[in-house]
Amino acid sequence: MSKVALYPGSFDPISNGHIDIVKRAAKLFDRVVIAVATNTSKKTLFTADEKVQLIQENVAFLTNVEVVKHSGGLTVDLADELNATILLRGLRSVKDFEYEADIAAMNKTQNNRVETVFLTADETYRFVSSSLIKEVAMFGGDISGLVPANVNKAMKKKYEIE
């Protein structure tokens, strides 16, 4: 049976930490589907289409990884639609664990067929979050080691730096 993992998130923007999780998951599962949330209540810097494009350019070399937009509904329903039995999430800290364990338990109440699997963040990117990246980039800080090159460029454009 083919093991499909769904990796949902805001990815506003995708960071090297996210990409590290995807690369490792691509070795563990037959297929990895990255789902970009479009219905988030958070105000986003990038549009869903921009996020999908930025992600696609970085995962194109991984033949078993694809990117989709998730425009609403339960994540577990999307998992069913995609025949995914695994929800993939990254864990950076105890703070993440507390939040993520609740979400995993809630998802279980909605769909018992889907299992959440956590990968711990790479040490190098443990402190990296999309929100911190935006804060630093907004004031012209150097985030080049924390995000892929296309994201670095796109952020400079958004904040009209250079």
For binding to ligand ADP (CB under 6 A), which residues are involved? 9-11, 15, 17-18, 21, 89-90, 92, 96, 121, 125, 128-130
Q: What one-letter code names the amino acid at 58?
A: N
**Cα 160 from Cα 68, distance rounded (Å):** 28
Q: Do the Cβ atoms of 12 and 52 come closer than 8 Å?
A: no
The residue (of 85 and 90) whose beta carbon lies closer to ligand ADP is 90
Question: Active site residue: 2, 42, 93, 157, which one?
Answer: 42
Reply yes or no on whether 70 is catalytic. no
Question: Active site residue: 15, 18, 31, 134, which one?
Answer: 18
The residue (of 18 and 31) whose beta carbon lies closer to ligand ADP is 18
Q: What one-letter code names the amino acid at 136?
A: V
Reply yes or no on whether 31 is catalytic. no
The Cα-based distances of 39 to 7, 31, 47, 131, 152 in angstroms read 16, 24, 11, 18, 24
Which residues make beta-bridge pairs with 120? 91
Please give the residue whose beta carbon sits closest to ligand ADP in the complex: 17
CB of 68 to ligand ADP, least distance (A): 15
Cα dihedral sign for 11, 13, 16, 19?
Answer: positive
Question: Active site residue: 69, 92, 108, 153, which one?
Answer: 92
The residue (of 15 and 85) whose beta carbon lies closer to ligand ADP is 15
Token duo for residue 147: 């995000």
Reply yes or no on whether 2 is catalytic. no
CB of 29 to ligand ADP, least distance (A): 16
The residue (of 37 and 160) whose beta carbon lies closer to ligand ADP is 37
Closest CA to 151 of 63, 59, 89: 59
CB of 162 to ligand ADP, least distance (A): 25
**Cα 155 from Cα 11, distance rounded (Å):** 13
Question: Active site residue: 51, 89, 130, 134, which one?
Answer: 130
- Catalytic (active-site) positions: 18, 42, 92, 130
